[in-house]
Amino acid sequence: MTAVGLPGVDVSRETVQTLLDFEMLVRKWTTAINLVSKSTVSEIWQRHISDSAQIFQYFPAGAKNWLDLGSGGGFPGIVVSILARELAPGLRVTLVESDRRKATFLRQAAQQFGLDVVVLDKRIESIPPQAADVLSARALSPLSDLLSHASTHLHPAGVAIFPKGARYNEELAEARSTWDFDVEIKPSCSDPGAAILVIRNIHRAAQA
């Protein structure tokens, strides 16, 4: 079946139910630690779960290690891991989250749903290179900064997947002043003005 509200992925009712259970867990914890903004609590499925799930369609075959930076409330990292249990068994997802309370939530979610997840409660700058096959980050920082992290933590043959808002063209132009990279711009299924940037071959730009 194609899950309603899960663009780009085809999953079982069991996986949909796990995502619904995760939504309830986010709602419960948000009352204490603000995992998502209060203005979007009533729209967690569309604004956060569905928005996160759509990036999974760009998962490269054979990838074994997915690194998610600034995982926050588990978007997209926990959503990716729930989908991977059915669609990519054997994928390990590493979540980097410096806020200890949010890291505790991520560990709780991973344990509750039996996910193959590692949580690093450290700043991104302090973790060793990860050689990830896939690297993601959602609503974390400007593209130039994300490419710096990707150049450190992504395997040379890996892919970075960054959901971006309506200013993505401006971010691309700014990033190209310091970085060379190949990018595919994919439409966002949750926001007609947004895009998903699928980026490979990241290198520092040659200085003039």
Binding-site residue ranges for S-adenosyl-L-methionine: 70, 75, 124-125, 138
Q: Residue 52: which of 7, 4, 2, 113 has the closest Cα? A: 7
Q: Which residues pair with 68 in a beta bridge?
A: 95, 136
How far is 125 from 130, CA to CA, in rounded Å?
Answer: 12
Identify the burial level of 97 via C-beta atoms within 10 angstroms of its C-beta, where 0-12 means exposed, 13-18 middle and 19 or more buried.
buried
**55 to each of 39, 73, 103, 114, how far by Cα in Å?**
23, 17, 22, 22
Q: Which residues pair with 75 in a beta bridge?
A: none
Residues tagged in the binding site annotation: 70, 75, 124-125, 138
First to last CA, the chain: 53
